[in-house]
Amino acid sequence: MKTARFAGGKKVVLEEKSTLVAGEGQVVVAVKSCGLCGSERENYLNGYIHHQGHEVAGVVTQVGPGVTNVRPGDRVVVYLTSFCGDCVYCQQGLTTMCLNYPEKVNLGWAYPGGFAEYLVTDAQNALPLAEELSFEDGVLLLDTLGTPFHGLRLARAEEAGTALVIGCGTVGLGTVLILKALGVKQVYATDLSPLRLAMARELGAVPLKVPETPVLDFVREKTEGGVDLAVEAVGSPATLVQAVKAVRFGGVVLGLGEQPDDFALTIDLEMRLKDLIMIRSWYFPVKEYFENMQLMKGGFFANKDKLVTARFPLEELQTACDLFYEGKTGGKVLINFP
């Protein structure tokens, strides 16, 4: 089968690998669509680290012994994190809280990842995709919509009248889309990229170009001393501080951004007095995948198709990566398979 691998130094190499066999409790999935993700920038720059391509939708082609939840021919998405399925949290569908996988991302979750014609994964990570939805929809239900929606549920975003989204990568854009769909009246968005800001505007946000716009002054002036909700979708200390400063007293800060390095946050007097709620979330539980799929079937994510701005076959993964990681396109880039 055809596969692609990040070789480091921004190079993608195509490779031929032997056919996969589903072991006990596993399934083989023919990949139909796989999203490029900002979290894999490190792989693109420095070579394969863990898996590559983790936003996958496809069709089950083979099931191993003991598999009962899916059958060959089933359309599925591949859920990222490993979970036991038995603990008190898994039983409620709260799979990201699984007690038996302290390292929630089991790095061997799906071999060799989604930049391949086929992958093998634990059967319980293959979640059904409704017939009405496309494989591209399936990919969007994962990191692009699933991840921000989990944080926004924790943040009770539907109660916000004003929000600021810092960083309009695909998670930030997904955040804008959901905030507007939830009826949040005023959504501001910042990013360094004019392309991404243009997309945020299309999704209903008021774009604030940085550094030209003094974001904090602007936001405080336009709202009652700050926004109700600030979402940080960059993963840097500077933008997290900006989010804390942008919310009003009693506001909610939601941290979604990811960078490879840990960082510390300095709490100054202004922040200390703010009486704010700070939320840090990651990915989403299986339970919410099903809720989001129902919402998508009902048309809740009306602007979802605007999120995808480029599609390539596997053979052009190099071009796709150059476009995406060099910021030459504003939205989600997908690798689609025939």
Residues at the interface with Zn ion (CB under 5 A): 37, 39, 83-84, 87, 90, 98, 100, 143
Q: What is the DSSP string of 185-207?
A: SEEEEEES-HHHHHHHHHTT-EE
Q: Is 327 exposed, middle or buried (0-12, 13-18, 19+ CB in 10 A)?
A: middle
Nearer to Zn ion, 40 or 74 (CB): 40
Taking 3-state DSSP, the helix, strand and coil percentages for the chain, each rounded to the nearest 5, stand at 35, 25, 40
Cβ distance to Zn ion smaller for residue 39 or 61: 39
Minimum distance of Zn ion from residue 275's CB (angstroms): 33
Output the smallest distance, CB 7 to Zn ion, in A: 20
CB of 332 vs Zn ion, minimal distance in Å: 10
Q: How far is the CB of 215 from Zn ion (least distance, A)?
A: 26
| Burial of residue 97 (number of CB atoms within 10 Å: 0-12, 13-18, 19+) | middle
User: Smaller CB distance to Zn ion: residue 75 or 332?
Assistant: 332
Q: Considering beta carbons, is residue 93 or 204 the nearer one to Zn ion?
A: 93
CB of 280 to Zn ion, least distance (A): 17
Cβ within 8 Å of residue 294, ≥6 positions away:
none
Structure tokens at 24: 């006990």
Whole-angstrom distance, CA of residue 143 vs CA of residue 171 = 7
CA end-to-end span of the chain, whole Å? Answer: 14
CA nearest 255: which of 175, 190, 188?
Answer: 175
Tokens of 116: 């391949």
Minimum distance between the CB of residue 216 and Zn ion, rounded to whole angstroms? 29
Shortest distance, CB of residue 55 to Zn ion, whole angstroms?
5
Closest CA to 54 of 144, 175, 169, 177: 144
Q: Is the CB of 100 or the CB of 294 nearer to Zn ion?
A: 100
Give whichever of 97 and 277 is closer to Zn ion, judged by the CB atom: 97
Q: In what order do the strands lie in the sheet with 247-255?
A: 206-209, 186-191, 162-166, 227-232, 247-255, 277-280
Cβ proximity to Zn ion, 208 vs 256, nearer residue: 256
Q: By beta-carbon distance, which residue lies closest to Zn ion?
A: 37
Residue 180: strand, helix, or coil? helix
